[in-house]
């Protein structure tokens, strides 16, 4: 099992989040899809992992540094791309960027982030960009060119969430996904805001619009909002042909995020990807999929040294 200290720290963080965030925000972040079997599988898999101690020579200082895609990391872990972090904390992606830089690791920035990529890279140059193929190839081209021009050199293309987005039973009605916090929305969520006044105040200071400045604009020329994000992702599910096209367009390192099988890992290598991220989107896309930790050995074996294998 994981150490009691590690598990206690994780559980403590969950308790703090539940205490400080409005219920809708907490459930959106914490919850999985349908019966949440994959959420439980992920957690159970990590609980099964224990230490394999080597004694007598274990007193020397341990070196955690490693290199990924030419970037030196102080430890083999970094913040993964996530959407609209400002919902959880008013500093949003800028806060994550500062923390990642201080820790000596890169940062993953999602296309559905709340801060323009140019602002984030000014804080932390080692920012790696994550892409949903919103707007198809045309929209993706715009997003990739912007990310490259801003200075990002590693691209994650997320493929698992678009494959299947089931009903989310824990939050069966849409919550916290309006395009803008207007009077009607404020009234609807008032009971939650009243008991979380500090969160509400900090969030409102950051602006009322719930929009994604790094995503391509809608066909009507409007900035993509939270209300339309999931639909926009489902409208353009990527294919292997699309990934080959991305490989041709993107001059930097390419990581395919959402790989959990040997077959897909080998195909990713065949199209020229530099890496894969073993990910099931935290169990909030497709339920009953395998735990990432259990899928990891299969993917590593299939990669056979042709790919850098990450795990989310």
pLDDT for res 20: 83
* pLDDT computed for residue 172 by the predictor: 47
Domains along the chain with CATH numbers: 65-167+210-311 (3.20.20.70)
Instruction: Name residues whose C-beta falls within 8 Å of residue 188's C-beta, 6 or more positions apart in sequence.
Output: none
Q: Which whole number is the average pLDDT over 151-167?
A: 81
Q: What is the pLDDT of residues 22-59, one digit of tens each?
A: 888 888 777 788 888 898 999 899 888 888 887 887 77
Q: Give the rounded percent of residues in the chain with a pLDDT score beyond 90.
A: 51
Local confidence band at 173 (pLDDT 50, 70, 90 cut-offs): very low
- 188 an active-site residue? no
Q: How confident is the model at residue 151 (pLDDT cuts 50, 70, 90)?
A: very high
For residue 197, what pLDDT is reported? 84
Averaged pLDDT of the chain: 86
Residue 312 has pLDDT above 70, yes or no: yes
Decide if pLDDT at 300 tops 50: yes
CA dihedral 282, 284, 287, 293 (to 10 degrees): 0
Quote the CA–CA distance of 229 and 236 in Å, as a whole number: 11
**Region of poorest pLDDT, from 190-194, 275-279, 288-292, 295-299:** 190-194
Out of 90, 124, 228, 281, the active site residue is: 281
| Torsion region of 274: left, alpha or beta (phi above 0 gives left; psi -120 to 50 gives alpha) | alpha
C-beta of residue 145 within 8 angstroms of C-beta of residue 169: no
Of residues 169 and 59, which shows the higher confidence score?
Answer: 59
pLDDT of residue 24: 80
């Amino acid at each position: 099992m994981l150490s009691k200290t590690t598990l206690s720290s994780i559980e403590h963080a969950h308790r703090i989040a539940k205490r400080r965030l409005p219920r809708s925000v907490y459930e959106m972040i914490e919850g999985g899809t349908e019966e949440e079997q994959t959420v439980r599988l992920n957690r159970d898999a990590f609980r099964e992992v224990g230490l394999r101690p080597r004694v007598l020579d274990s007193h020397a200082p341990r070196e955690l540094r490693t290199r990924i895609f030419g970037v030196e990391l102080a430890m083999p872990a970094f913040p993964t791309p996530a959407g609209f972090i400002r919902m959880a904390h008013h500093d949003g992606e800028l806060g994550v960027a500062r923390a990642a830089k201080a820790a000596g690791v890169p940062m993953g920035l999602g296309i559905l982030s709340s801060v323009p990529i140019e602002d984030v890279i000014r804080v932390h140059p080692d920012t790696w960009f994550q892409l949903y193929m919103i707007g198809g190839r045309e929209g993706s081209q715009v997003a990739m060119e912007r990310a490259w021009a801003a200075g990002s050199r590693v691209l994650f293309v997320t493929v698992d969430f678009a494959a299947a987005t089931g009903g989310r039973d824990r939050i069966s009605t849409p919550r916290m996904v309006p395009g803008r916090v207007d009077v009607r929305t404020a009234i609807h969520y008032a009971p939650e805001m009243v008991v979380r006044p500090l969160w509400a105040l900090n969030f409102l200071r950051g602006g009322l619009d719930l929009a994604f400045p790094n995503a391509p604009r809608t066909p009507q020329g409007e900035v993509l909002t939270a209300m339309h994000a999931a639909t926009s992702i489902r409208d353009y599910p990527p294919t292997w042909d699309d990934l080959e096209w991305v490989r041709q367009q993107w001059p930097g390192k390419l990581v395919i995020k959402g790989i959990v099988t040997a077959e897909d890992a080998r195909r990713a290598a065949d199209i020229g990807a530099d890496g894969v991220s073993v990910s099931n989107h935290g169990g909030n896309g497709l339920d009953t999929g395998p735990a990432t930790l259990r899928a990891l050995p299969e993917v590593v074996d299939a990669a056979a040294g042709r790919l850098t294998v990450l795990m989310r």
